[in-house]
Structure 1
Amino acid sequence: MALAAELTLSTTEQRDAAYHLHGYTDASQNVKTGPMVIERGEGVYVYDNQGRRYIEAMAGLWSVAVGFNEPRLVEAAASQMAKLPFYHTFSHKSHGPLVDLAEKLVSMAPVPMSKVFFTNSGSEANDTALKVIWYRSNALGQPQRKKVISRMRGYHGVTVAAASLTGLAYAHNAFDLPIAGILHTACPHYWRDAQPGETEEQFSTRLANELEQLILREGPETIAAFFGEPLMGAGGVVVPPAGYWAKVQSVLRKYDILLVADEVICGFGRTGNMFGSQTFGIEPDMMVLSKQLSSSYLPISALVMNDRVFEPVAAQSGELGTFGHGLTGGGHPVAAAVALENIRIIEERNLVDNAAKVGAHLRTRLEQLANHPLVGEVRGVGLIAAVELVANKESKAPFGKPGDLGRMVNGSMALNGVISRAMGDALAFCPPMIITSPQVDEIVDQFEASLDEVAHAIA
């Protein structure tokens, strides 16, 4: 309360600084400066409480596929709210929107799937996946088979188990994470981590061999599953190198290890196909879905599983009398109705094709900046991309401390009317899938101006 007394609550920013603890924010800095307060959205643009307009080059948090003011989603929410504002799925209960959504997700999955379990966020869905995997191992009489493998720089959420799967230090530091039984293997970032003279295929082979050696060291009979994003998002928009997923899947099949595809960012068109698993030839046993599932208009997520996963779980629940897991808001009827309408819009308006076409234009424009002194690498696929910033192109060294350059350019972009996200020294681009090529040009023009401003400032 002493903090609140020191601030004059005359502006929204000051009130936020007084009372709000933000996620992924320097809390001490927010107390001093307050946040950017966004008041409304329109298409690919958002407006702050001072009337300034920004093109939202991150679709919020990788998630608003259909733009920020889609009336059909508003109507879907209002209509369902008036009809059935809430119901649960415990003890043999369900409701129409959820039945329709479960059927839709199974039917559109890129590989044969069987059942869907609904949660509220990607983090909860990944936690659920881990619990289901452990439950399944017990059902199969393999109680020792509980370890799971994810990757350095992978991102799977922030709840206790999901944050443990995440392979980023900021999700672990001071939280006493990761928990036991979570292993991490190498990040497949060819530009950063390949050895001199190593081709993409050779790099992929080396990483697959390292994965196999990890499995053998731990004991294959103790490894239950591998978690991976088709394309790594929050870890820097890392596009897997040639041959990577084929080689990894070969290792997993050899040792009968489940594959969980975290499609939270990649799903529903972001990579130029409906799912990232299609883009990269992945055949998962489980898929984790969220974000663009509802364009994040309402919280909803889903864990989709095949019969290889479901059948032992169902048998175990029969022996125990129940599957003792569930969430009050999981599969909320209003969120489910919005998700169904959101998927219809994506399909009717061919937004997956638009993501592929406009995304190619985005990468072309960004690649034209490759000779800029601050640009180290341009990478991406579909309508998601990143530019890695460096102070020295040859050594790939950062300017000052790692992340300084990213923060500077990201701040300049905001002043120039573009919201991006700095992941260390990588700037991410993941706009709504309704974006046009001229709007992409607006993003890249302001990004180039920001690069020039920062280059001049540090010269």
Structure 2
Amino acid sequence: MAPSAADIAALDRAYVFHPFTALKEHERSGGPMIVRGSGITLEDSEGRTYLDGMAGLWCVNVGYGRPEIAEAIHRQALTLPYYHGFSSMSTDTPALLAERIVRAAPKGMAKVFFGNSGSDANDTQVKLVWYYNIARGKPNKRKIISRARGYHGVTLASASLTGLEGLHKGFGLPLDFVRHTRAPHRLWEAEPGMSDADLVASLAADLEAMILAEGPETVGAFIAEPIQGAGGVIVPPKGYFPAIREVLTRHDVLLIADEVICGFGRLGTMFGCEALDIEPDLITIAKGITSAYVPLSGCIVSQRVWDTIADAGERNGPFGHGYTYSAHPLAAAAALANLDVIENDRLLEAAATRGAEMRAALADSFGGHPLVGEVRGMGMVAAVELVAARTPATPFPPALKVAPRVAKAALARGVITRALPSSDTLAFSPPFVATSGEIAEIVGRVREALDAVADELARERALPRAS
């Protein structure tokens, strides 16, 4: 007999080591066992359904159950499920995909190095920066500047780049080549009365001061998400990236655009660089390239960086980096089919249109709530940041875990949102195929969840009740 849902849940609690999970709590009580998905709806082993307001982890852009992608994976698995890319060996689907990515990427991009996850891609970016600078005779340019609240992965290097304490605590991180500067987070970083232009100037000046203090001859790159995702869906003020680019150019520092969340339509454009006027030297991609149907990541390398790296190979011999699964033909086939869906179904336009509806609905539903400090977003991604008081903005004590409580209450109401780490922020990042009605349901049910938690807090701490 096939094992029951309860049996499988028990096996999960007994044997699966879950990422980003309260481990002992999971051993005791577990969580939903998701078994099926279609569009933006998920179903668990008990038959309960959920509207997925997060597209998995910001990644199932085209929605669940797309037969076009499943059929492409099936065809490729029967034709050639795997071959490697080492020692000049090639397969066809990665070649077709790399050309398509470079043609869609910002001006000046030349090559794609394929990996398996955003984390390993950002590890690769660090090594590319080091290789590039050693090739130029500048071996001391090894430091990478990231930002507070930035998220770049969980490997040793990429977790160090990440500016979230929870990814460092208990691991002895960050590694010593990483520095963190301020996030462009107006709610907490702008002084009273400060204009966007003033905030941009302050952030750029702080970055330059850090580079000068470290020594420009020791700083190799600056890494940034177009919009900071896991750190709070932080949208930078207008003019931020051109100001940062000017500082980096002045001090011969590369710019890595981490497009793992923003790439392939999340902001209503193919790349976030287009939406935020970013001129990168290197771009990190993952998630939306396959809509997570198959793991795949990539480092898009500019012509300038490629030329230096390739020339160094004449002296160093074969490039000594890569993975067994680099340029995996099955993953590339899934990515090509996914890009076809995005193009054929005009999902960039859908992300822009539905995203505007979602942000308007969130602003209307949450904007006046006494426990909401800010509603923000761009394209098909948004956030509601919760505060103990609005004027002046006052954070909740972390021990209250307000956003996780709201996320749990929303889950009980059949909606998946996400409480982001290191801030009381709820994220919204549904698949691009969400309908207007589904967006309205997501917003409405999460508002109900917030009201329920607000009432709990009022009883516990005499905080204002929801209006």
Q: TM-score range by the shorter chain?
A: over 0.9
- Tell me the distance in 1 between the aligned counterparts of 2:309 and 2:258: 20
Q: Which moved more, 1:283-292 or 1:193-202?
A: 193-202
Q: Does the 8 Å CA contact 1:9/1:15 hold for their aligned counterparts?
A: no
Q: Given the alignment of the two structures, is residue 288 of structure 1 paired with residue 288 of structure 2, yes or no?
A: no
- Tell me the distance in 2 between the aligned counterparts of 1:60 and 1:402: 26
Q: Does the 8 Å CA contact 1:144/1:221 hold for their aligned counterparts?
A: yes
State which of 391, 398, 404 in structure 2 corresponds to 1:401: 398
Counterpart amino acid of residue 433 in structure 2: I
State which of 82, 96, 99 in structure 2 corresponds to 1:86: 82
- Tell me the distance in 1 between the aligned counterparts of 2:284 and 2:354: 26
Report the equivalent of 1:155. Answer: 151
Q: 1:36 to 1:9 in 2, by over 3 A?
A: closer
Q: Which moved more, 1:188-197 or 1:257-266?
A: 188-197
Q: Given the alignment of the two structures, is residue 239 of structure 1 paired with residue 238 of structure 2, yes or no?
A: no
5+ residue gaps, structure 1: 1-7
Structure 1: 4+ residue segments shifted above 2 A: 8-14, 395-403
Q: 1:444 to 1:99 in 2, by over 3 A?
A: same
Please show how residues 370-381 of structure 1 align to structure 2 within 5 Å.
Answer: 370-381=367-378
Please show how residues 341-356 of structure 1 align to structure 2 within 5 Å.
Answer: 341-356=337-352
Task: Provide, for residues 297-334 of structure 1, a one-character-per-residue CA deviation record: whole Å limited to 9, x for no partner.
Answer: 00000100112111111111221221000100111111
Counterpart amino acid of residue 453 in structure 1: A
Q: Which moved more, 1:408-417 or 1:387-396?
A: 387-396
Task: Provide, for residues 95-126 of structure 1, a one-character-per-residue CA deviation record: whole Å limited to 9, x for no partner.
Answer: 01011001111111022211110000000100
Report the equivalent of 2:14. Answer: 18
SS at match of 2:112: strand
| TM value normalised by structure 1 | 0.97
Q: Given the alignment of the two structures, is residue 56 of structure 1 paired with residue 52 of structure 2, yes or no?
A: yes
Aligned-residue Cα RMSD (Å) equals: 1.3
Q: Which moved more, 1:401-410 or 1:91-100?
A: 401-410
Q: Which moved more, 1:381-390 or 1:110-119?
A: 110-119
Report the equivalent of 2:464. Answer: none
Report the equivalent of 1:427. Answer: 426
Q: Does the 8 Å CA contact 1:403/1:425 hold for their aligned counterparts?
A: no
| 1:160 to partner: Cα distance | 0.5
- Tell me the distance in 2 between the aligned counterparts of 1:189 and 1:398: 14
State which of 215, 220, 231 in structure 2 corresponds to 1:219: 215
Q: Size of the alignment, in residue pairs?
A: 452
| 1:435 to partner: Cα distance | 1.1
Q: Does the 8 Å CA contact 2:396/2:424 hold for their aligned counterparts?
A: no
Task: Provide, for residues 172-206 of structure 1, a one-character-per-residue CA deviation record: whole Å limited to 9, x for no partner.
Answer: 11111111211111011011221111111101110
| 1:347 to partner: Cα distance | 1.1
| 1:14 to partner: Cα distance | 2.3
- Tell me the distance in 2 between the aligned counterparts of 1:40 and 1:268: 24
Counterpart amino acid of residue 121 in structure 1: S
- Tell me the distance in 1 between the aligned counterparts of 2:5 and 2:133: 54
The alignment-based identity, stated in percent, is 46
State which of 84, 94, 98 in structure 2 corresponds to 1:98: 94
| 1:345 to partner: Cα distance | 0.8
| 1:231 to partner: Cα distance | 0.4
State which of 130, 138, 142 in structure 1 corresponds to 2:134: 138
Q: 1:9 to 1:239 in 2, by over 3 A?
A: closer
Q: Given the alignment of the two structures, is residue 65 of structure 1 paired with residue 64 of structure 2, yes or no?
A: no
Report the equivalent of 2:451. Answer: 452
State which of 388, 394, 413 in structure 2 corresponds to 1:391: 388
Report the equivalent of 1:307. Answer: 303
Task: Provide, for residues 64-94 of structure 1, a one-character-per-residue CA deviation record: whole Å limited to 9, x for no partner.
Answer: 0111100000000000000001001000011
Q: Does the 8 Å CA contact 1:58/1:421 hold for their aligned counterparts?
A: yes
